[in-house]
C-alpha cells in the first residue's frame, strides 16, 4: 500500500526549530520528487518546498527561504523538513506529497499531515 | 493573494452542474503548464481529482472533468451529490516565480 506518514509536529516557541519527517512506503521512494505543502488554520494550501528524486535540486517558497531546509534519505525512504527561526505565521498543518510524472506531475499521494503550532 | 485565482465559493442543488474556475497568467497556465485539481474534505488531506488538465485518476467518477484554455482552467462537476461538498484547489507551476502554485480554493456547497 502506497503511503506517506508525517511526524514531528508540535508546539514550539517563536524563533525555535523543529524537524518534520515523512516516512514513505509501498513505492520506490528514490524515483520521485517530493514536496512539502502547508495549510494554515482555515486557509488554503501553500506550497513550501520540493526536492528532486536524487536530492540534487531543492526549491523553496519565498516565505520560508533561508529558514527551512528540505532533505531526504533514500536509504531510509524518508523526507525531512528542517524548520528554523519559526514564526507565528508558520503555524499550519504540514503535508508531504509525492510528485508523479505519470500523473502530469500532480501530487498524487499525500500524507495525513502533521500540525505545527508556533506560539509563546 | 494566490497566483492562481479561484472564486471563494460555489453552490448547487443535487443533480445540478457546477463549474469551478481557476485564472492564472502567461507565466503559469498560459505558458502551457499543466493544471491539476484537488479535492479536500475538511480535516483530511487533499486528493487529486484531475491531472494534466483533463485526466482522471482511476476511481474518480466521470461526472468530474477538467478543461484548460488560454490562461484559465475549469473543473466541472455534473450530477452533483452531497459527497461532493468540499474545498477544491487548482495547482500549476509558475515559471517566473520558479515554484509550484495553488489557487486560493473554492468551497463547494451542495444545497
Q: Which residues of A touch B40 (CB under 8 A)?
A: 45
Mutation to test the B interface, candidates A6, A63, A92, A107, most B Cβ within 10 Å: A107
Mutation to test the A interface, candidates B7, B38, B99, B103, most A Cβ within 10 Å: B99
> SS3 for A77?
coil
Q: What's residue A55's pLDDT?
A: 95
* pLDDT (average), residues A25-41: 97
Q: What's residue B98's pLDDT?
A: 78
Q: Is pLDDT of B107 > 90?
A: yes
* pLDDT (average), residues A53-81: 97
CA nearest B58 in A: which residue?
A103
C-alpha cell at A118: 508556533
Q: Is pLDDT of A82 > 90?
A: yes
DSSP string, B9-71: EEEE-TT--EEEEEE--TTTGGGT---EEEEE-TTS--EEEEBTTTB--TTS-TTEEEEEETT
Q: Is pLDDT of A107 > 80?
A: yes
Q: What's residue A30's pLDDT?
A: 97
Residue A104 banded pLDDT, cuts 50, 70, 90:
confident
* pLDDT (average), residues B71-83: 96
Amino acid at each position: 500500500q502506497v503511503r506517506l506518514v508525517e511526524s514531528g509536529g508540535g508546539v514550539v516557541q517563536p524563533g525555535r526549530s523543529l524537524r518534520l519527517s515523512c516516512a514513505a512506503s509501498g513505492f520506490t521512494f528514490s524515483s520521485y520528487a517530493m514536496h512539502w505543502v502547508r495549510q494554515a488554520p482555515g486557509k488554503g494550501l501553500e506550497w513550501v518546498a520540493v526536492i528532486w528524486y536524487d536530492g540534487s535540486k531543492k526549491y523553496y517558497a519565498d516565505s520560508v527561504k533561508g529558514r527551512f531546509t528540505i532533505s531526504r534519505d533514500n536509504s531510509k525512504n524518508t523526507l525531512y523538513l528542517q524548520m528554523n527561526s519559526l514564526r507565528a505565521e508558520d503555524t499550519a498543518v504540514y503535508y508531504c506529497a509525492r510528485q508523479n510524472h505519470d500523473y502530469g506531475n500532480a501530487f498524487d499521494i499525500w500524507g495525513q499531515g502533521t500540525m505545527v503550532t508556533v506560539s509563546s | 493573494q494566490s497566483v492562481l485565482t479561484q472564486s471563494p465559493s460555489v453552490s448547487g442543488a443535487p443533480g445540478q452542474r457546477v463549474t469551478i474556475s481557476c485564472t492564472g497568467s502567461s507565466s503559469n497556465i498560459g505558458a502551457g503548464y499543466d493544471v491539476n485539481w484537488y479535492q479536500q474534505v475538511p480535516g483530511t488531506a487533499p486528493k487529486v481529482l484531475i491531472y494534466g488538465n483533463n485526466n482522471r485518476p482511476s476511481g474518480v467518477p466521470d461526472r468530474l472533468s477538467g478543461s484548460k484554455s488560454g490562461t484559465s482552467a475549469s473543473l466541472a462537476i455534473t450530477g452533483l451529490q452531497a459527497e461532493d461538498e468540499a474545498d477544491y484547489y487548482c495547482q500549476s507551476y509558475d515559471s517566473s516565480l520558479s515554484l509550484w502554485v495553488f489557487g486560493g480554493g473554492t468551497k463547494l456547497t451542495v444545497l
